[in-house]
Amino acid sequence: MDVREGVELKGIPLASEEAMRAGLYWFREEELVEPIDWDYLASLPVRVRAALDAYMRGEVSLGKAAELSGLGFVEFDRIRTRARVPVRAP
């Protein structure tokens, strides 16, 4: 079973390549220095993926995303870095 199954917003899986290609994130694929590790993102708990998705959509700050994930800021940022999700400048 796909770990993303049933975790969708408007028919698009959370924290997914499909969402990026649909233009739902504040960055575009061609702007990335390194490609996002979508397999790693898919392996994360739903709560963490949902928080990363909200961050990538530009709906919340990195600090708020960490709070939503239930993790501390440093741990959440370590996961963001491991997934190669870019930092959004203010």
Ranges of each domain in the chain: 8-83
**How confident is the model at residue 8, as a pLDDT?**
56
Q: Which positions ≥6 away from 39 have C-beta within 8 Å? A: none
pLDDT of residue 39: 95
What is the pLDDT at residue 50?
A: 94
- Report the pLDDT value the prediction gives residue 7, as an integer from 0 to 100: 53
* pLDDT the model gives residue 90: 67
Residue 6, pLDDT score: 45
The pLDDT value recorded for residue 14 is 85
Name the stretches of the chain with pLDDT < 70.
Answer: 1-10, 90
pLDDT value of position 2? 33
Q: At what angle do helices 73-83 and 46-56 cross, to 10 degrees?
A: 80
Give the right CATH number for 8-83 from 3.30.230, 1.20.1050, 1.10.10, 2.40.50: 1.10.10
